[in-house]
Amino acid sequence: MNTSRMRVGILFGGKSAEHEISILSAANVLEAIDRKRWEPVLIYIDPAGKWNLLDERNSLHDFSFEAWKAGRFSSLEACSLPGGAVRMALTGQFS
């Protein structure tokens, strides 16, 4: 039996006016995900469009762009999802 978990990227934030809604959606996905089957990878897109890989141990229920700027959430350097999947928690327009 294969005991490895598949990585799943959870994208949230973005340039949308619904930025905060996207954060809440990602928090709900992170809370509900079966960590025995999936390894979540949190990818936060700030309002300027910059992509940031967060430490998945972060709780997103207290996450906000202001908290991110203040350095209250840890981040990682690189993002790799070989053989993984992506769960979008983005809403609104992204361009």
| Interval 11-40: pLDDT, tens | 888 888 888 899 899 889 888 989 899 888
The pLDDT-based confidence of 92 (bands split at 50, 70, 90) is: low
Q: Is the pTM of this model over 0.85?
A: no
The string of DSSP codes covering the chain is ---PPEEEEEEEE-SSTTHHHHHHHHHHHHHHS-TTTEEEEEEEE-TT--EEEEPTTS-GGG--HHHHHTT-S-EES----TT-EEEE---S---
67-79: pLDDT as tens digits: 777 777 766 544 4
pLDDT given at position 38: 87
Q: Tell me the mean pLDDT in the region 38-62.
A: 80
